[in-house]
Structure 1
Amino acid sequence: MEHKIKSIRTFIGAKDFNESRQFYCDLNFEEVIISHDMSVFKNENFAFYLQKAYVKDWVDNSMIFLEVEDVEYYLEEIKKLDLVSKYRRVRLSEIVHNPWGKEFFLHDPSGILWHIGSFN
């Protein structure tokens, strides 16, 4: 089988849909509203769906790995947004160095865990 994949998109939930929408807009993703309870957030190479749906076990176990070119630059740009002060449940870590590469962690307002990193 030959895969001619154009994209892969995850669906994530939101404890407070409007707060999460604003959070992802603040992260500089473009929001395209699909319906009153779903939006797609994208940039030129990446997209994901945000749903007005909250299932604690699902959200608490949702993780996304976002591979970036320059981890240090990306972390500094996120820090400039001051999301931790703006959103009470948002958490941001420093860079962790692993044998396979490096990453830092960003929890969205609902608890979705973003791994943002690069591979060696």
Structure 2
Amino acid sequence: MIHPAKSIRTFIGAKDYAESRHFYEVLGFQVQPVSENMSVVHIKENVSFYLQDYYLKPWCENSMIFLEIEGDLESYWKAIKVLGLPDKFPGTKLSSIQHNDWGNEFFLHDPAGNLWHFGFFI
């Protein structure tokens, strides 16, 4: 069966909804409210996710999102590092680039503990 899919979006939680919206704006994502307690966050066309004003610690701290990067991962990492997110948003963490057999990646924890993998496949 062929599925006529156009996009796929995950839902992630926010411990402090206003802080998380601001975090993603500083990261350079476009945050568009869709209701009082939910926003759609656009990274680029057809690459987006829902951010909700809902927090359950075990859920958020076990949520992971992999964002495949086009082009130079190191330049992208440097662009994120210069934003100083861990200094501006308590609880956020940015790793160095990890080199794997399949490709390279780095990690970013958002303010609620959601773990982002930014990677490039070789």
The equivalent of 2:121 in structure 1 is 119
> How many pairs does the alignment contain?
120
Instruction: Give CA-to-partner distance per residue, 1:54-109, whole Å, 9 cap, x none.
Output: 01111111000000022101101101111111111110000000111000000000
1:84 aligns with 2:64: no
Once the two structures are TM-superposed, the CA of residue 5 in structure 1 deviates from its matched residue by 1.5
1:26 aligns with 2:26: yes
Instruction: Give CA-to-partner distance per residue, 1:10-42, whole Å, 9 cap, x none.
Output: 000011111000000101111110111000000
Q: Distance in 2 between matches of 1:88 and 1:56?
A: 16
TM-score, length of structure 2 as denominator length: 0.95
The equivalent of 1:56 in structure 2 is 57
The one-letter code sitting in structure 1 at the alignment partner of 2:95 is S
Q: Distance in 2 between matches of 1:84 and 1:60?
A: 17
Structure 1 residue runs of 5 or longer lacking an equivalent are none
The equivalent of 2:6 in structure 1 is 6
- Find the residue that maps to 1:81 and give its secondary structure: coil
How well do the aligned residues superpose, as a CA RMSD in angstroms? Answer: 0.8
The equivalent of 1:15 in structure 2 is 15
The one-letter code sitting in structure 1 at the alignment partner of 2:42 is K
1:35 aligns with 2:69: no
The one-letter code sitting in structure 2 at the alignment partner of 1:6 is K
TM-score, length of structure 1 as denominator length: 0.96
User: Structure 1 runs of 4+ off > 4 angstroms?
Assistant: none
The one-letter code sitting in structure 2 at the alignment partner of 1:87 is F
Once the two structures are TM-superposed, the CA of residue 3 in structure 1 deviates from its matched residue by 2.1
The one-letter code sitting in structure 2 at the alignment partner of 1:59 is C
Q: Distance in 2 between matches of 1:43 and 1:89?
A: 22
